[in-house]
Structure 1
Amino acid sequence: MSATTSVYHFEQGIPGFEHLHHFVFSDLEQELPIKLMQSVDDQEISLLIVNPFFFYPEYEWELSDSAKQELQIQTEQDIEIWSILTMATEPSGATINLLAPLVLNPNQMTGKQLILHDSTYSSRAPLNRT
Protein backbone atom coordinates (compact mmCIF):
# COMPACT_ATOMS: atom_id res chain seq x y z
CA MET A 1 0.00 0.00 0.00
CA SER A 2 1.50 3.34 -1.01
CA ALA A 3 1.74 6.35 1.26
CA THR A 4 -0.86 8.16 -0.86
CA THR A 5 -3.48 5.43 -0.50
CA SER A 6 -6.62 6.68 1.20
CA VAL A 7 -8.12 4.52 3.92
CA TYR A 8 -11.90 4.46 4.41
CA HIS A 9 -13.29 3.90 7.90
CA PHE A 10 -16.29 1.57 8.32
CA GLU A 11 -17.53 2.21 11.87
CA GLN A 12 -19.48 -1.09 12.01
CA GLY A 13 -17.31 -3.12 9.64
CA ILE A 14 -19.29 -4.97 6.98
CA PRO A 15 -21.62 -7.95 7.50
CA GLY A 16 -19.53 -11.06 8.00
CA PHE A 17 -16.45 -8.96 8.74
CA GLU A 18 -17.66 -6.74 11.58
CA HIS A 19 -14.18 -6.77 13.14
CA LEU A 20 -12.63 -5.10 10.07
CA HIS A 21 -12.99 -1.31 10.04
CA HIS A 22 -10.43 0.02 7.54
CA PHE A 23 -10.45 -0.57 3.78
CA VAL A 24 -8.63 0.75 0.75
CA PHE A 25 -10.12 0.83 -2.75
CA SER A 26 -7.92 0.30 -5.79
CA ASP A 27 -8.88 0.85 -9.41
CA LEU A 28 -8.34 -2.14 -11.67
CA GLU A 29 -7.01 -1.69 -15.18
CA GLN A 30 -10.14 -2.77 -17.02
CA GLU A 31 -12.91 -1.29 -19.11
CA LEU A 32 -15.54 -2.09 -16.49
CA PRO A 33 -16.20 0.13 -13.43
CA ILE A 34 -14.61 -2.28 -10.98
CA LYS A 35 -12.39 -1.84 -7.92
CA LEU A 36 -10.63 -4.00 -5.38
CA MET A 37 -11.75 -3.38 -1.79
CA GLN A 38 -9.02 -4.60 0.56
CA SER A 39 -8.98 -4.72 4.33
CA VAL A 40 -6.14 -2.85 6.00
CA ASP A 41 -6.78 -4.80 9.22
CA ASP A 42 -6.45 -8.22 7.51
CA GLN A 43 -4.54 -8.12 4.21
CA GLU A 44 -5.98 -11.50 3.19
CA ILE A 45 -9.52 -10.11 2.96
CA SER A 46 -10.35 -8.42 -0.33
CA LEU A 47 -13.52 -8.09 -2.38
CA LEU A 48 -14.25 -7.07 -5.94
CA ILE A 49 -16.78 -4.26 -6.15
CA VAL A 50 -18.57 -2.73 -9.13
CA ASN A 51 -20.67 0.31 -9.91
CA PRO A 52 -24.20 -1.18 -9.80
CA PHE A 53 -25.65 1.53 -12.07
CA PHE A 54 -23.43 0.34 -14.92
CA PHE A 55 -25.27 -2.99 -14.92
CA TYR A 56 -28.63 -1.91 -13.42
CA PRO A 57 -29.31 1.71 -14.48
CA GLU A 58 -32.77 1.53 -12.84
CA TYR A 59 -31.27 0.59 -9.44
CA GLU A 60 -32.83 2.90 -6.86
CA TRP A 61 -33.47 3.09 -3.09
CA GLU A 62 -33.67 5.67 -0.34
CA LEU A 63 -30.68 6.42 1.91
CA SER A 64 -31.90 6.80 5.50
CA ASP A 65 -31.26 9.96 7.49
CA SER A 66 -29.34 7.93 10.08
CA ALA A 67 -27.00 6.55 7.38
CA LYS A 68 -26.49 10.08 5.99
CA GLN A 69 -25.62 11.30 9.48
CA GLU A 70 -23.28 8.38 10.21
CA LEU A 71 -21.43 8.93 6.92
CA GLN A 72 -21.50 12.74 7.29
CA ILE A 73 -23.24 13.13 3.92
CA GLN A 74 -24.31 16.68 3.10
CA THR A 75 -24.88 16.56 -0.68
CA GLU A 76 -25.13 14.03 -3.50
CA GLN A 77 -21.46 14.75 -4.29
CA ASP A 78 -20.60 13.11 -0.95
CA ILE A 79 -21.91 9.71 -2.10
CA GLU A 80 -20.46 6.81 -4.06
CA ILE A 81 -22.44 3.59 -4.36
CA TRP A 82 -20.75 0.24 -5.01
CA SER A 83 -21.86 -3.39 -4.92
CA ILE A 84 -19.91 -6.52 -4.08
CA LEU A 85 -19.26 -8.81 -7.03
CA THR A 86 -19.27 -12.59 -6.66
CA MET A 87 -17.35 -14.46 -9.31
CA ALA A 88 -18.34 -17.91 -10.51
CA THR A 89 -16.39 -20.64 -12.28
CA GLU A 90 -17.86 -19.36 -15.53
CA PRO A 91 -17.76 -15.56 -16.02
CA SER A 92 -21.39 -15.65 -17.15
CA GLY A 93 -22.33 -16.84 -13.65
CA ALA A 94 -20.99 -13.73 -11.87
CA THR A 95 -23.48 -11.97 -9.58
CA ILE A 96 -23.81 -8.56 -7.98
CA ASN A 97 -25.17 -7.88 -4.49
CA LEU A 98 -27.91 -5.29 -4.96
CA LEU A 99 -29.48 -6.06 -1.57
CA ALA A 100 -26.52 -4.76 0.43
CA PRO A 101 -24.86 -1.79 -1.32
CA LEU A 102 -21.68 -0.14 -0.09
CA VAL A 103 -22.13 3.59 0.49
CA LEU A 104 -18.95 5.66 0.56
CA ASN A 105 -18.32 9.30 1.39
CA PRO A 106 -15.01 10.05 -0.35
CA ASN A 107 -14.85 13.52 1.24
CA GLN A 108 -14.95 12.16 4.81
CA MET A 109 -13.36 8.76 4.01
CA THR A 110 -16.26 6.92 5.65
CA GLY A 111 -18.17 3.88 4.45
CA LYS A 112 -21.06 1.64 5.36
CA GLN A 113 -22.66 -1.47 3.91
CA LEU A 114 -26.42 -1.12 4.04
CA ILE A 115 -28.93 -3.95 4.11
CA LEU A 116 -32.01 -2.89 2.14
CA HIS A 117 -34.88 -4.33 4.20
CA ASP A 118 -38.26 -4.79 2.48
CA SER A 119 -36.52 -4.78 -0.89
CA THR A 120 -37.07 -6.87 -3.98
CA TYR A 121 -33.36 -6.65 -4.86
CA SER A 122 -31.26 -9.80 -4.68
CA SER A 123 -27.91 -10.45 -3.06
CA ARG A 124 -27.10 -12.53 -6.15
CA ALA A 125 -28.48 -10.56 -9.10
CA PRO A 126 -26.99 -11.74 -12.39
CA LEU A 127 -24.24 -9.52 -13.72
CA ASN A 128 -24.95 -10.68 -17.24
CA ARG A 129 -28.62 -9.83 -17.94
CA THR A 130 -28.79 -11.11 -21.53
Structure 2
Amino acid sequence: MSIESNVYHFEYGIPGFEHLHQFAFYEVEGELPMRLMKSVEDEEISLLIVSPFFIYPEYEWELSESSKQELCIHSEADVEIWSIITIPSEPLQATINLMAPLVLNINKKIGKQLILHDNHFSSRAPLIRA
Protein backbone atom coordinates (compact mmCIF):
# COMPACT_ATOMS: atom_id res chain seq x y z
CA MET A 1 0.00 0.00 0.00
CA SER A 2 1.51 3.32 -1.01
CA ILE A 3 1.49 6.10 1.53
CA GLU A 4 -0.80 8.27 -0.63
CA SER A 5 -3.52 5.61 -0.60
CA ASN A 6 -3.83 5.63 3.19
CA VAL A 7 -3.71 9.41 3.80
CA TYR A 8 -6.96 11.09 4.82
CA HIS A 9 -7.75 14.81 4.88
CA PHE A 10 -9.39 16.21 8.03
CA GLU A 11 -10.56 19.70 7.04
CA TYR A 12 -10.77 20.92 10.65
CA GLY A 13 -8.10 18.66 12.12
CA ILE A 14 -9.12 16.78 15.24
CA PRO A 15 -9.77 18.23 18.72
CA GLY A 16 -6.43 19.15 20.26
CA PHE A 17 -4.72 19.02 16.86
CA GLU A 18 -6.81 21.44 14.81
CA HIS A 19 -3.68 22.59 12.94
CA LEU A 20 -3.05 19.10 11.50
CA HIS A 21 -5.09 18.08 8.46
CA GLN A 22 -3.38 15.06 6.88
CA PHE A 23 -3.27 11.70 8.68
CA ALA A 24 -1.91 8.41 7.41
CA PHE A 25 -3.40 5.14 8.65
CA TYR A 26 -1.26 2.04 9.11
CA GLU A 27 -2.33 -1.51 9.93
CA VAL A 28 -1.23 -2.84 13.33
CA GLU A 29 -0.55 -6.55 13.59
CA GLY A 30 -2.40 -8.48 16.25
CA GLU A 31 -5.79 -9.87 17.10
CA LEU A 32 -7.57 -6.54 17.58
CA PRO A 33 -8.72 -4.45 14.59
CA MET A 34 -6.32 -1.59 15.29
CA ARG A 35 -4.49 1.02 13.25
CA LEU A 36 -1.89 3.68 13.87
CA MET A 37 -3.12 7.15 12.86
CA LYS A 38 -0.05 9.28 12.20
CA SER A 39 0.10 12.96 11.30
CA VAL A 40 1.75 13.61 7.94
CA GLU A 41 2.57 17.18 9.01
CA ASP A 42 4.03 16.40 12.45
CA GLU A 43 5.68 12.99 12.66
CA GLU A 44 5.69 13.12 16.47
CA ILE A 45 1.89 12.93 16.57
CA SER A 46 0.43 9.45 16.31
CA LEU A 47 -2.66 7.88 17.81
CA LEU A 48 -3.63 4.27 18.27
CA ILE A 49 -7.17 3.61 17.07
CA VAL A 50 -9.48 0.60 17.19
CA SER A 51 -12.84 -0.43 15.77
CA PRO A 52 -15.22 0.44 18.63
CA PHE A 53 -17.69 -2.26 17.49
CA PHE A 54 -15.14 -4.99 18.20
CA ILE A 55 -15.02 -4.06 21.90
CA TYR A 56 -18.53 -2.61 22.28
CA PRO A 57 -20.81 -4.49 19.83
CA GLU A 58 -23.80 -2.54 21.19
CA TYR A 59 -22.16 0.81 20.25
CA GLU A 60 -24.63 2.62 18.04
CA TRP A 61 -25.52 6.19 17.08
CA GLU A 62 -26.93 8.06 14.12
CA LEU A 63 -24.67 9.97 11.72
CA SER A 64 -26.27 13.37 11.13
CA GLU A 65 -27.27 14.49 7.64
CA SER A 66 -24.88 17.44 7.87
CA SER A 67 -21.97 15.09 8.67
CA LYS A 68 -22.97 12.82 5.79
CA GLN A 69 -22.95 15.81 3.43
CA GLU A 70 -19.67 17.18 4.80
CA LEU A 71 -17.99 13.78 4.36
CA CYS A 72 -19.71 13.04 0.99
CA ILE A 73 -21.19 9.83 2.40
CA HIS A 74 -23.81 8.22 0.19
CA SER A 75 -23.90 4.69 1.61
CA GLU A 76 -22.64 2.61 4.52
CA ALA A 77 -20.00 1.18 2.18
CA ASP A 78 -18.30 4.61 2.17
CA VAL A 79 -17.81 4.64 5.95
CA GLU A 80 -15.37 3.35 8.53
CA ILE A 81 -15.70 4.24 12.22
CA TRP A 82 -12.70 4.23 14.58
CA SER A 83 -12.08 5.28 18.17
CA ILE A 84 -8.92 6.65 19.75
CA ILE A 85 -7.27 4.59 22.48
CA THR A 86 -5.47 6.14 25.45
CA ILE A 87 -2.86 3.93 27.08
CA PRO A 88 -1.64 5.21 30.46
CA SER A 89 1.44 3.93 32.30
CA GLU A 90 -0.68 1.01 33.53
CA PRO A 91 -1.79 -0.65 30.24
CA LEU A 92 -4.70 -2.50 31.89
CA GLN A 93 -6.24 0.93 32.53
CA ALA A 94 -6.34 1.75 28.79
CA THR A 95 -9.48 3.52 27.58
CA ILE A 96 -11.36 3.99 24.33
CA ASN A 97 -13.06 7.26 23.35
CA LEU A 98 -16.64 6.35 22.43
CA MET A 99 -17.84 9.97 22.75
CA ALA A 100 -15.73 11.24 19.84
CA PRO A 101 -15.53 8.65 17.05
CA LEU A 102 -13.46 9.14 13.91
CA VAL A 103 -15.63 8.89 10.81
CA LEU A 104 -13.80 8.14 7.57
CA ASN A 105 -15.07 8.21 4.00
CA ILE A 106 -12.82 5.46 2.64
CA ASN A 107 -13.58 6.33 -1.00
CA LYS A 108 -13.00 10.10 -0.82
CA LYS A 109 -10.17 9.80 1.76
CA ILE A 110 -11.67 12.41 4.07
CA GLY A 111 -12.39 12.19 7.77
CA LYS A 112 -13.77 13.97 10.78
CA GLN A 113 -13.79 13.41 14.50
CA LEU A 114 -17.37 13.80 15.70
CA ILE A 115 -18.38 14.79 19.21
CA LEU A 116 -21.54 12.89 20.16
CA HIS A 117 -23.47 15.21 22.46
CA ASP A 118 -26.82 13.55 23.11
CA ASN A 119 -25.78 10.18 24.41
CA HIS A 120 -24.37 8.19 27.27
CA PHE A 121 -21.00 7.30 25.74
CA SER A 122 -17.80 7.98 27.64
CA SER A 123 -14.59 9.49 26.34
CA ARG A 124 -12.81 7.07 28.70
CA ALA A 125 -14.64 3.77 28.39
CA PRO A 126 -12.53 0.78 29.49
CA LEU A 127 -10.66 -0.82 26.59
CA ILE A 128 -10.63 -4.12 28.45
CA ARG A 129 -14.15 -4.97 29.57
CA ALA A 130 -14.66 -6.80 32.86
TM over 0.5: yes
Query: Contact 2:6–2:26 (CA<8 Å) still a contact in 1?
Result: no
With the length of structure 2 as denominator, give the TM-score of the two structures. 0.95
Query: What secondary structure is seen at the aligned counterpart in 2 of 1:13?
Result: coil
Query: What secondary structure is seen at the aligned counterpart in 1 of 2:108?
Result: coil
Q: Residues 3, 61 of structure 1: CA spacing in aligned structure 2 closer, same or farther, 3 A cutoff?
A: closer
Q: CA RMSD in A?
A: 1.4
How many aligned residue pairs are there?
130
Deviations 1:25-62 (A, max 9, x none): 00011111110000001111000000000000000001
Structure 1 runs not aligned, ≥5 long: none
With the length of structure 1 as denominator, give the TM-score of the two structures. 0.95
User: Hey, what's the Cα distance between the residues in 2 that align with 1:4 and 1:121?
Assistant: 33
User: Hey, what's the Cα distance between the residues in 2 that align with 1:2 and 1:42?
Assistant: 19
Q: Residues 100, 129 of structure 1: CA spacing in aligned structure 2 closer, same or farther, 3 A cutoff?
A: same
User: Hey, what's the Cα distance between the residues in 2 that align with 1:66 and 1:17?
Assistant: 22
Identity of aligned residues (%): 68
Query: What secondary structure is seen at the aligned counterpart in 2 of 1:53?
Result: helix
What's the offset of the Cα at 1:88? 1.9
- Letter in structure 2 aligned against 1:75: S
Q: Is residue 19 from structure 1 mapped to residue 19 from structure 2 by the alignment?
A: yes
What's the offset of the Cα at 1:90? 2.2
